[in-house]
């Protein structure tokens, strides 16, 4: 056996050993997120509110159903400008961030929406938007394209027309965008009330498919 062949076989054996180790090494499971300390501080802040208002905010914070993303964002908006409720808005953010870090693209979009309401956290918010868009989250794809193409009106209009063919949240947003463009004669589209009504009607139909009414609490 030639020296070069021996070296090649030795290299393959080393590579095989490395791959075996990587594939079979024990992994440490990721610990479940524990927001109890943050929630405890939020509960303390709620004690200073009238009972009805406190209960309404508490329900938003601990929401676990389909509304949980909107509920957490709602809790943030109701508390973010009130210093005595800072712990409430903090909890909403850390819970959304925990879900986003676990790979939940809907949480990524809502976290981006909350964070971009403030200059100090705007950059992080746009990073979450970009990540959600890269993972294919429809609303994030739409919003990211709107940002990327905002100074390129021809490409933006073409993108909106393409989005409008989709049967998801990106399509829903694009239909409303096109309706507005035809109502005002913006973005290179002619002012056309009939087309605007047509896009609004399509958006309404698609919205009823995508966002059926949730059961009443």
Residues 109, 190 share a domain:
no
- Is 188 part of a structural domain of the chain? yes
Choose one of 71, 104, 135: the last residue of a domain.
Answer: 135
Work out how many domains the chain is built from and give that number.
Answer: 2
- Tally the residues of the chain: 217
- Is 12 part of a structural domain of the chain? no
The pLDDT of residue 1 is 53
The pLDDT of residue 156 is 96
The parent domain of residue 192 ranges over 151-210
- Is 14 part of a structural domain of the chain? no
Residues 157, 131 share a domain:
no
The pLDDT of residue 217 is 54
pTM: 0.81
Residues 96, 171 share a domain:
no
Residues 66, 130 share a domain:
yes
- Is 21 part of a structural domain of the chain? no
- Is 183 part of a structural domain of the chain? yes
CA–CA distances in Å: residue 92 to residues 34, 137, 140? 13, 21, 20
The pLDDT of residue 33 is 72
pLDDT digit of tens for each residue in the chain (217 aa)? 555 544 444 444 434 443 444 344 444 444 567 789 999 999 999 999 999 999 999 999 999 988 999 999 999 999 999 999 999 999 999 999 999 999 999 999 999 999 999 999 999 999 999 999 999 999 999 999 999 999 999 999 999 999 999 999 999 999 999 999 999 999 889 999 999 999 999 999 999 999 987 666 5
- Is 36 within 8 Å of 58 (Cβ atoms)? no
């Amino acid at each position: 056996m030639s020296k070069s062949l021996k070296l090649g076989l030795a290299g393959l054996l080393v590579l095989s050993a490395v791959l075996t180790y990587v594939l079979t090494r024990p992994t440490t499971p990721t610990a479940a997120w524990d927001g109890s300390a943050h929630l405890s501080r939020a509960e303390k802040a709620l004690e200073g509110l009238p009972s009805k208002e406190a209960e309404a905010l508490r329900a938003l914070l601990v929401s676990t159903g389909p509304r949980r993303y909107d509920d957490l964002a709602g809790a943030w908006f109701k508390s973010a400008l009130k210093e005595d409720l800072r712990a409430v808005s903090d909890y909403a953010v850390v819970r959304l961030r925990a879900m986003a870090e676990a790979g939940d693209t809907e949480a990524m979009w809502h976290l981006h929406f909350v964070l971009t309401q403030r200059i100090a956290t705007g950059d992080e918010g746009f990073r979450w938007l970009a990540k959600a868009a890269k993972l294919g989250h429809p609303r994030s794809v739409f919003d990211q394209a709107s940002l990327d193409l905002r100074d390129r009106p021809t490409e933006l209009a073409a993108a909106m027309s393409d989005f409008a063919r989709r049967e998801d949240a990106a399509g829903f947003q694009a239909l409303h965008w096109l309706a507005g463009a035809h109502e005002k004669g913006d973005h290179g589209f002619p002012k056309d009330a009939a087309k605007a009504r047509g896009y609004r009607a399509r958006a309404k139909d698609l919205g009823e498919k995508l966002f059926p009414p949730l059961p009443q609490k």
